[in-house]
């Protein structure tokens, strides 16, 4: 069967393309712009990619079109599908029917930590010899790709609450029918499709309704919104984790400097060396261990697997060291994630932290995080912010009152890079945070730091 994927450049739809190709389908796709790592993963497998949503050529008539949720009415490629009465469906629906229908699905959800927790969980299952399938919104270092079928019964999927398609406004994860669910945390996000936090909670409640009574929900017991959401109705056993004394499994004595944590629960007590720094990652690790435990992996074996975990691309990923200056890349774009990422880096980096931010998410663009953004950046020594021209509010008004002269804001990318290069010193860590390609700033900074252009600011 020939599948044509609209929106193939996104991590979710690109992952579906990889799975479909692995099952033997002919796969092609289109997106407005496609960039690494997804573009590399697709082209390496010989998947034909078209850039730009012009109508497909008459010779290209697929058996089915998978429509990504980034497309809306008026898009030329989508209008052609409707006009020609081609068979189409959503990515989540196709995935549920063709890949996951007969498998034990483990879904990782929450506002933050989904990709890291999914990657940890997948690696633990792999280490235990269970050969899981997976679809993750990032590239785990242990695998080098974001999706595969696997040969075992288990399938790990990152459960995004964003909507499914232009014709299906339910959250993606409603389609997945999981047996194991992780709920890491719950905050307001995706302001372009959700009016308030209560609307997101309803989608999570709908997910809970699909989990069988023989399944398991692994929930952050420290998050009151998660607790309130489960209080709307739950028919599945719950295991709660966190730092609070009422949790079934509890993290104690978290030491960011040495990346150590003590885990207690069920009469057990374990000292764990974390593969990633920060309290938020300690929570991600615990959630992954508990989900793997539900699938049959002993806790000790899961802990053993952690020492071989190789991280995730774009999650506090060290991209290079130039002249004694470290350059990190991270996907953080919500104030909570921004603060957690800076804090994690602060825990093991002794020098200055230069935070570089692109506030490009739809929620950020609409100004939802305007009043909390400055606080999330406060732990950084210097802050450099690129102001997208589509931003609907003033970054200067939001950031300068608290951050003062530590913050530099510009709409000019070259000027931003010049300022970072002129400011950075030996021993500094430059932390770039964005949920997009950020105009290839990482590679441009590595070049600029290697050949500093002083005095051009």
Q: What is the pLDDT of residues 330-350, one digit of tens each?
A: 888 788 889 988 988 888 888
What confidence score (pLDDT) does residue 129 get?
Answer: 97
pTM as predicted: 0.86
Residue 165: pLDDT above 70? Answer: yes
What confidence score (pLDDT) does residue 327 get?
Answer: 94
Residue 453: pLDDT above 60? Answer: no
> For residues 25 and 1, is the Cβ–Cβ distance under 8 A?
yes
What confidence score (pLDDT) does residue 322 get?
Answer: 92
Q: What percent of the chain has pLDDT over 70?
A: 98
Distance (Å, rounded) from C-alpha 132 to C-alpha 130? Answer: 6
∠ CA 25-26-27, nearest 5°, is 105
Residue 62: pLDDT above 60? Answer: yes
Question: For 360-385, how does the pLDDT look when each residue is reduced to its tens digit (9 = 90+)?
Answer: 887 788 788 888 899 999 999 999 99
Whole-number average pLDDT of the chain: 91
Tokens representing residue 53 in the block: 């949503």
Residue 172: pLDDT above 50? Answer: yes
What burial class does residue 72 get, using C-beta atoms within 10 Å of its C-beta: 0-12 exposed, 13-18 middle, 19+ buried?
exposed
∠ CA 408-412-413, nearest 5°, is 90
Question: For 114-126, how does the pLDDT look when each residue is reduced to its tens digit (9 = 90+)?
Answer: 999 999 999 999 9
Distance (Å, rounded) from C-alpha 21 to C-alpha 370? Answer: 42
Question: For 71-75, 245-249, 254-258, which range has the lowest pLDDT when averaged over its residues?
Answer: 254-258
What confidence score (pLDDT) does residue 50 get?
Answer: 92
What confidence score (pLDDT) does residue 5 get?
Answer: 97
Element housing 120 (H / E): helix 114-127
What confidence score (pLDDT) does residue 436 get?
Answer: 77
Question: For 390-425, how does the pLDDT look when each residue is reduced to its tens digit (9 = 90+)?
Answer: 888 888 988 999 999 999 999 999 999 999 999 999
> For residues 364 and 372, is the Cβ–Cβ distance under 8 A?
no
> For residues 450 and 417, is the Cβ–Cβ distance under 8 A?
no
Tokens representing residue 30 in the block: 């289109």
What confidence score (pLDDT) does residue 91 get?
Answer: 97
Phi, psi of 220 (to 5 degrees): -70, 105
Query: What residue ranges define each of the domains in the chain, with the CATH number in brackets?
Result: 2-91 (3.40.50.720), 100-306 (3.40.1190.10), 317-450 (3.90.190.20)
Q: What pLDDT band is residue 258 in, cutting at 50, 70 and 90?
A: low
Q: What pLDDT band is residue 256 in, cutting at 50, 70 and 90?
A: low
CB atoms within 10 A of CB 57: 8
Question: For 29-57, how does the pLDDT look when each residue is reduced to its tens digit (9 = 90+)?
Answer: 999 988 777 888 899 999 999 999 998 88
Residues in contact with 110: Cβ distance below 8 Å, sequence separation at least 6, in sequence order: 117, 182, 183, 184, 185, 186, 220
Question: For 117-154, how does the pLDDT look when each residue is reduced to its tens digit (9 = 90+)?
Answer: 999 999 999 999 999 999 998 889 899 889 999 999 99
Residue 13: pLDDT above 60? Answer: yes
What confidence score (pLDDT) does residue 457 get?
Answer: 40
What confidence score (pLDDT) does residue 269 get?
Answer: 87
What confidence score (pLDDT) does residue 414 get?
Answer: 92
What confidence score (pLDDT) does residue 455 get?
Answer: 41
Name, of 16-20, 53-57, 265-269, 375-379, the range with top average pLDDT. Answer: 16-20
> For residues 132 and 155, is the Cβ–Cβ distance under 8 A?
yes
Distance (Å, rounded) from C-alpha 177 to C-alpha 215? Answer: 11
Q: What pLDDT band is residue 276 in, cutting at 50, 70 and 90?
A: confident
Residue 300: pLDDT above 90? Answer: yes
Q: What percent of the chain has pLDDT over 90?
A: 67
Residue 454: pLDDT above 60? Answer: no
Chain centroid, CA 414 distance in Å:
28
Please state the rounded mean pLDDT for residues 434-457: 76
Residue 157: pLDDT above 90? Answer: yes
Residue 456: pLDDT above 80? Answer: no
């Amino acid at each position: 069967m020939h599948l044509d994927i609209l929106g193939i450049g996104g991590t979710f739809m690109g992952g579906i393309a990889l799975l479909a190709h692995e099952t033997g389908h002919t796969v092609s796709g289109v997106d407005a712009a496609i960039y690494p790592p997804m573009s590399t993963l697709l082209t390496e497998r010989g998947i034909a990619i078209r850039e730009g949503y012009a109508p497909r050529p008459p010779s290209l008539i697929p058996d089915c079109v998978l429509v990504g949720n980034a497309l809306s009415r008026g898009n030329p490629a989508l209008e052609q599908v409707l006009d020609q009465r081609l068979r189409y469906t959503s990515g989540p629906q196709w995935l549920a029917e063709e890949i996951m229908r007969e498998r034990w699905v483990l879904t990782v959800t929450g506002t933050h930590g989904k990709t890291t927790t999914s990657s940890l969980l997948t690696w633990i299952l792999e280490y235990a010899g269970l050969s899981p399938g997976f679809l993750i919104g990032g590239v785990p270092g242990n695998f080098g790709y974001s999706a595969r079928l696997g040969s075992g019964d288990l399938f790990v999927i990152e459960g995004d609450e964003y909507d499914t398609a232009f014709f299906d406004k339910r959250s993606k994860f409603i389609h997945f029918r999981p047996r194991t669910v992780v709920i890491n945390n719950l905050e307001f996000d995706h302001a372009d499709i959700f009016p308030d936090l209560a609307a997101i909670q309803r989608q999570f409640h709908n997910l809970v309704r699909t989990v069988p009574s023989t399944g398991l929900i692994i929930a952050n017991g420290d998050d009151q919104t998660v607790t309130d959401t489960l209080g709307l109705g739950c028919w599945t056993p719950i295991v709660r984790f966190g730092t609070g004394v009422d949790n079934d499994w509890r993290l104690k004595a978290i030491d960011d400097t040495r990346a150590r944590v003590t885990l207690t629960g069920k009469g057990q007590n374990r000292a764990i060396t974390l593969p990633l720094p920060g309290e938020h990652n300690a929570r991600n690790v615990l959630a992954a261990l508990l989900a793997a435990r539900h699938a049959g992996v002993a806790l000790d074996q899961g802990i053993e697997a952690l020492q071989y975990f190789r991280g995730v691309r774009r999650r506090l990923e060290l991209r290079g060291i130039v002249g004694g200056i470290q350059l990190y890349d991270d996907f953080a774009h919500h104030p909570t994630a921004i603060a957690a990422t800076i804090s994690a880096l602060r825990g093991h980096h002794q020098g200055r932290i230069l935070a570089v931010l692109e506030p490009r998410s739809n929620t950020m663009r609409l100004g939802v995080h305007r009043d909390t953004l400055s606080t999330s950046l406060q732990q950084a020594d210097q802050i450099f912010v690129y102001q997208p021209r589509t931003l609907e509010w003033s970054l200067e008004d939001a950031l300068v009152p608290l951050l003062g002269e530590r913050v530099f804001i510009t709409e000019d990318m070259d000027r931003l890079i010049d300022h970072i290069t002129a400011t950075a010193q030996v021993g500094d860590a430059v932390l770039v945070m964005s949920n997009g390609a950020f105009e290839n700033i990482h590679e441009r900074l590595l070049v600029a730091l290697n050949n500093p252009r002083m005095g051009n600011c």
